[in-house]
Amino acid sequence: DLKKAGLLIFANKQDVKECMTVAEISQFLKLTSIKDHQWHIQACCALTGEGLCQGLEWMMSRLKIR
């Protein structure tokens, strides 16, 4: 059932000065090794809502593909 599943990661706390970047998170989680699923890291800030819509848009675009 998960053959076509995508992975969306919200990288919260992007407003914090020394937070991990999207690239650092990708390396830390070894996401480049995932070849059979699409994945996306969306930088966001839950306090302001910045980036949340973009992540949900990515998820919705994945649903259209299925």
Is 12 marked as a binding-site residue? Answer: yes
Is 30 marked as a binding-site residue? Answer: no
Is 13 marked as a binding-site residue? Answer: yes
DSSP states of 1-63: --TT--EEEEE--TTSTTPPPHHHHHHHTTGGG--SS-EEEEE-BTTTTBTHHHHHHHHHHHH
Report the binding-site residues for GTP.
12-15
Report the binding-site residues.
12-15
